[in-house]
Structure formats: structure tokens, C-alpha cells
Amino acid sequence: MEKLNQAYDYLSKIIKEPVQYGLVLGSGLGALSDSFENSVEIPYTDIPGFPVSTVEGHEGKLVIGDYNGKKAMLMKGRFHYYEGYDMDKVVFGIRIMKLAGVEKLIVTNAAGGVNTGFTPGDLMIITDHIGLFCPSPLRGPNIDSFGPRFPDMSYAYDRELVKKAEKCAAKLDINIKKGVYVFTQGPMFETPAEIKAVRILGGDAVGMSTVPEVITANHCSIKVLGISCISNMAAGVLDQPLNHLEVMETGEKVKNKFELLIKEILDNL
């Protein structure tokens, strides 16, 4: 809590009013911040105690800006467990958002398609997740000022925000998918056998992020909307090797569609 307060004290000199909503921008999606007015970009390295992104496609900047008269906080790049960070560092930015007043959070990511009805470039609204392989970010002494010791995760992804996102996609004539996101620790891609197991468990997409952030947001009563860009088909779905370059290339191809959807959702929050 001391580290969080130090970071927030630094940011409070820049944030002059409560922040209404937050966004976490996944691989290759940082350009969305260009649509925000009166924005200030703060490198993570300038914020006391803030972790640093080490993955290609994650710029490592916190952006404070306005969209349609509402104050927003955007993370251009997130932190992953596989980078070597403890979970309290992985979710550090989400707790900063709570201190700043964020009530609604949009998390985005690039994910591997497990559902064989998906194709690379599809956008998927996350309806639920499977995080059984995810070390809990709530492990250790509970921070009572944020939330209860045993938070309910029945509606980790807010149902009203899911409906709103569906309507926005329909308005833009985007063929949106819905599904369950499954967390794996990484950094290696999953094996074909692991993907088969994920499919049996009911997963539609797989990735190495998001779930810790969503758990933490729910713990501190932030409503969450999650959207995945299906950047590649997961191991074993297609007879070809996987690489991060494919993830980046697909993100580049669909970023305009993704950004249009996020903007439409923001317009209707």
C-alpha cells in the first residue's frame, strides 16, 4: 500500500480530477490513445514503484486524457507474470486506477483462437475466464480498503457492458464473437495437447494476461469489459508453428476495426 500511495501521489499532481474509466491496451493497440484530448503521456519509468513493460508491442506509458468530456487512464502496455514480476506488480496499474477513481475498465489483449469457428482477426467479447493456472493476485494479506478477503467472481465481466459492446459491434457491422478466455503462464506458447485440454474445459481463446487484472478489478469493485483480438490460431488447430511476429502482424491488420469498436463503446459508456 505504501508503494501504491507513492505512485499515486506522483500521479495526483498530473490528475486534477477523478478518472471515470480505464483501459489496458494489449499488444500493438497503443495507437488508440491518439484519440484522446488533453492527454499527458508518462513513461512507466518515471512513476515511483511502477513496473516496466519488456515485451515488444507494449510501449510502457501511462496516458491521462479526455474522451467526450470524460477523464480516462490508459495503460499502453501491461505487465505479465512471465516477465518475472510477482503478481502484485502485474496488477499494480489496476490498483492505481482504483485510487484514481476508475469505475469501469476495458481490458484488451491478443489471444490464440481455441474455438475452431474463429479465424485470425476476429474480435471476441470475453464473457468469462478460466484462471485455474493463474497465481492469484490477491494472495497474501488482504487490502481491506480495496475489497473483501473472498471476492465473488460470478460476474467477473459485467453483463451490461457485454450487452453494450454487442450493440456497438452490431451498429458498426462487426461480426463480434463471444467466448471464454483461458489464462496460461507463458512465455512459451501452449502445446497442442494443452490446447485440446483447454477446449475440453470450455475455453474459446487462450492468452498470457488479463485474468490477474480482471480478478483485481473485481476485488476493488471496478466493472470490467474484456475484448480479445484473435491474433492466431492456437497450437494444433493449424499445422504450422507459432510466433509472436504473427501476433503483431494480425494486430496491425485489425487495429482500425478494434479502435472503432472501442471508441463506439466509449461513446456509449
| Domains, the chain, with CATH or none | 2-267 (3.40.50.1580)
Evaluate whether 199 touches 112 at the Cβ level (below 8 Å): no
Task: Determine how β-strand 123-130 pairs with β-strand 177-183.
Answer: parallel
What confidence score (pLDDT) does residue 265 get?
95
What confidence score (pLDDT) does residue 235 get?
66
What is the mean pLDDT of the segment spanning 244-256? 73
57 φ, ψ (degrees, to nearest 5): 95, -5
Evaluate whether 125 touches 176 at the Cβ level (below 8 Å): yes
215 φ, ψ (degrees, to nearest 5): -60, -45
Residue 171 exposed, middle or buried by CB count within 10 Å (0-12, 13-18, 19+)? exposed
The tens digit of pLDDT for each residue in 82-138 reads 999 999 999 999 999 999 999 999 999 999 999 999 999 999 999 999 998 899 999
* Cell representation of residue 101: 477513481
Counting residues of the chain whose pLDDT is more than 70, the rounded percentage is 91
For residue 27, name the pLDDT band (cuts at 50, 70, 90). Answer: low
> Cell 451490461 appears where?
160
Evaluate whether 256 touches 173 at the Cβ level (below 8 Å): no
Evaluate whether 73 touches 62 at the Cβ level (below 8 Å): yes
Evaluate whether 53 touches 61 at the Cβ level (below 8 Å): no
User: Which residues are designated catalytic?
Assistant: 27, 58, 80, 82-83, 110, 208-209, 232, 244
* Cell representation of residue 266: 466509449
The tens digit of pLDDT for each residue in 56-88 reads 655 789 999 998 888 999 999 899 999 999 999
What confidence score (pLDDT) does residue 68 get?
84
Evaluate whether 144 touches 168 at the Cβ level (below 8 Å): no
Prediction pTM value? 0.93
C-beta pairs of 38-45 under 8 Å, 24+ apart in sequence: 38/65, 38/66, 39/63, 39/64, 39/65, 39/66, 40/14, 40/64, 40/65, 41/76, 42/11, 42/14, 44/77
What is the mean pLDDT of the segment spanning 130-150? 95
Q: Residue 126 is inside which H or E element, if any? A: strand 123-130
Evaluate whether 51 touches 58 at the Cβ level (below 8 Å): no
Give 34's contacts (C-beta < 8 A, 6+ positions apart): none
Evaluate whether 118 touches 181 at the Cβ level (below 8 Å): no
Give 2's contacts (C-beta < 8 A, 6+ positions apart): none
What is the mean pLDDT of the segment spanning 248-269? 85
Tell me the one-letter amino acid at 154.
Answer: S
Give 133's contacts (C-beta < 8 A, 6+ positions apart): 183, 184, 185
What confidence score (pLDDT) does residue 196 get?
94
249 φ, ψ (degrees, to nearest 5): -65, -45
Query: What's the mean per-residue pLDDT of the chain?
Result: 91
For residue 144, name the pLDDT band (cuts at 50, 70, 90). Answer: very high
What confidence score (pLDDT) does residue 60 get?
87
The tens digit of pLDDT for each residue in 10-22 reads 999 988 888 999 9
